[in-house]
Amino acid sequence: MTDLTPLTGPTSPGGPPPPDRYGVTPGGFVLKGIDRIVADQQARARAMFGSDVDLGSGSALRKILDAAAVQVHELWRALEDQYYAGFVTTAQGDALDLLGHDLGQERRQLHATGTVALTLTDADPGRVVVLPQGAVLRTADPPTAAAPAVALRTTAPATLTAGAPALVARVQAVPRGPDGDVTANRPLELDPAWARFHLNLGPATVKVATPTAIDGGELVEPDDTYRARLRGVPRTLWTQDAVLARILDVPGVRDAAVFDPLGGVDSSHALFNTYLFGQHDLTAGRRTGSPYFFDIVVAVEPGWPWRVDEGGIPAVYDGVVEEVRQWRPVSVFPVVRPADQVDVGIRATLVVRPGHDPDVIRGQILDAVHTGIDGLRLGRAVLHSDLVLTARSVAGVADVRNLRLRRGAPVFGEVGLGSAVFGSAAELSAGENLTLAPDEIARFDLAGPLTDLQVASP
């Protein structure tokens, strides 16, 4: 809607002049304010009934015009909302849902969350059991139509000892939506397949109880999260960005990278560097229908199995292969490889101001560093300056001295792209950044021996 009616009436002294056009303009939608609507209506009333018509605040005509102006202003606001509802960057609510439907990306439901009680039993004295972040739990009772089987994952490491055998841990359901809800007092257990692969409990057992319900799966992701996903949806069928967007939606994928030679030599296969110059045409292209391979490196969220024999929840490898298979062109095949998970720790001395609890400060710093490092993407270096700023931002910390990054050995084997860095655990110099190869991803060793924070007085 475009209003080309000339403006009449005074403008505010010293203020910017009103726009010449309202409605849809090259710069977007310009909303007509109620003051302009009232001024235009009064100008039309004078043109129709004469310049001496009574438009004072007590006149009947003025009251009718003011009441109509409110309704007209609401109409303009509705038109403005309708205009901006057509763009992903400004649409909200149902309008954003419609745009996502057009792009093939529906608004996702959230994971149910809650707490469980963990208890260590039959443990040897001095035995320490660490359940890493992502430890997989499952419902222990037979599934029914009203109460289907549910898998859960812990959201933080949990340490159990014979002296402190019980604690409360936060968990998140593996499936999205109401199917991940668990009622209070429903029996749970460690997933046997996951525990066999990741733990060595011996005679000890870990009992799981649900004193409160695990719920929230009926909620949906907010507009900001949904809008960010829609803005990243590629508008083409087969490009690196398009296939990467599909992979990142696979459950259990923390990050991924596509290493595509774009029609050149595939560097991960034995034929690399065997081209005989002078015997072949340099411009000869790949024959139609001949196989073409590219590499996909996938970083897995904690607790998610890479293969089906590593846990009782869906394997990430199978999910990625199946997703790419639906979108790849004919005779184009992915080589899916796990990323190298590089354990990262820190050693530093904290100067704590008097009156502050050193243990509380240490825990806050570890949580902040854990959140920051686990949010890094593939190949992103861990910066020394970021960790220093994180530590100093915690209330009660006066200084951070001699902070050094520590690197542990990667969990998985070399990806094969020729850029991975391998070796035993190492401590870097003070001020040195921990650089990673494109196929490596950092993971903070929250409860492991790589982290050593000492506390000193100022």
Query: Residue 400 pLDDT > 50, yes or no?
Result: yes
Residue 225 lies in a domain: no
What tens digit of pLDDT does each residue of 310-344 get? 877 889 999 999 888 877 766 677 888 898 888 89
d(CA 289, CA 236): 22
The pLDDT of 53-82, averaged and rounded, is 88
Residues 52 and 115 both lie in one domain: no
Residues 328 and 360 both lie in one domain: no
Residues 332 and 351 both lie in one domain: no
Residues 351 and 450 both lie in one domain: yes
Residues 375 and 313 both lie in one domain: no
What tens digit of pLDDT does each residue of 115-144 get? 999 999 988 888 888 888 889 999 998 888
Query: Residue 446 pLDDT > 60, yes or no?
Result: yes
Residue 304 lies in a domain: yes
- Confidence bin at 267 (pLDDT 50/70/90): very low
Proportion of the chain above pLDDT 90, given as a percent: 25
Residues 296 and 369 both lie in one domain: no
The pLDDT of 30-49, averaged and rounded, is 88
Residue 99 lies in a domain: no
d(CA 415, CA 300): 14
Residues 321 and 421 both lie in one domain: no
Which is more confident, 240 or 302? 302
pLDDT of residue 269: 46
pLDDT of residue 261: 53
pLDDT of residue 4: 39
- Confidence bin at 260 (pLDDT 50/70/90): low
Looking at the DSSP assignment, which residues form a beta bridge with residue 190?
137
Residue 100 lies in a domain: no
Proportion of the chain above pLDDT 70, given as a percent: 83
Q: How far is CA 133 from CA 91, 238, 348, in A?
A: 36, 35, 23
Residue 227 lies in a domain: no
The pLDDT of 369-386, averaged and rounded, is 90
Residues 276 and 321 both lie in one domain: yes
Looking at the DSSP assignment, which residues form a beta bridge with residue 220?
109
The pLDDT of 426-439, averaged and rounded, is 88
Residue 434 lies in a domain: yes
Show the domain range for 373.
Answer: 340-456
d(CA 371, CA 444): 9
pLDDT of residue 124: 83
Residues 344 and 311 both lie in one domain: no
Query: Do residues 351 and 458 make contact, with C-beta atoms less than 8 angstroms apart?
Result: yes
d(CA 391, CA 403): 10
Residue 307 lies in a domain: yes
The pLDDT of 248-266, averaged and rounded, is 73
Tell me the two tokens of residue 275. Answer: 């081209």
Q: Total domain count for the chain?
A: 4
Which is more confident, 68 or 312? 68
Residue for token pair 């530093």 = 348
Tell me the two tokens of residue 341. Answer: 């998970």
Which is more confident, 183 or 282? 183
- Which residues lie closer than 8 Å to 72 by C-beta, 6 or more apart? 37
CATH assignment at residue 329: 3.30.300
Query: Residue 14 pLDDT > 60, yes or no?
Result: no
What tens digit of pLDDT does each residue of 178-197 get? 999 999 999 999 998 888 88
Q: Would the pTM of this model clear 0.75, i.e. be above it?
A: no
Tell me the two tokens of residue 32. Answer: 């007509």
Instruction: For the chain, give the mean pLDDT.
Output: 81
Query: Residue 266 pLDDT > 80, yes or no?
Result: no
Q: Beta-carbon neighbour count of residue 258 at 10 Å?
A: 17
Which is more confident, 440 or 447? 440
Residue 104 lies in a domain: no
* Residue that is last in its domain, among 312, 338, 364: 338
The pLDDT of 25-37, averaged and rounded, is 86
* Residue that is last in its domain, among 320, 338, 356: 338
Residues 422 and 445 both lie in one domain: yes
Query: Residue 153 pLDDT > 90, yes or no?
Result: yes
Residues 328 and 371 both lie in one domain: no
pLDDT of residue 437: 85
Residues 140 and 204 both lie in one domain: yes
From 232, 297, 234, 290, select the one nearest 260 (Cα to Cα). 297
Tell me the two tokens of residue 7. Answer: 């403006």
* Residue that is last in its domain, among 66, 84, 102: 84
Please give the biggest Cα pair distance in the chain: 100
pLDDT of residue 292: 67
pLDDT of residue 289: 54
The pLDDT of 211-233, averaged and rounded, is 90
pLDDT of residue 252: 92
DSSP 71-121: HHHHHHHHHHHHHHTTSTTT--HHHHHHHHHHTT-PPPBPEEEEEEEEEEE
Q: Tell me, what DSSP letter sits at residue 237?
A: S
Residue for token pair 């707490």 = 115
Query: Do residues 376 and 382 make contact, with C-beta atoms less than 8 angstroms apart?
Result: yes
pLDDT of residue 178: 92
φ, ψ for residue 309 (rounded to 5)? -90, 5
pLDDT of residue 19: 65
pLDDT of residue 55: 86
Per mean pLDDT, which range of 66-80, 213-227, 249-263 is the poorest? 249-263
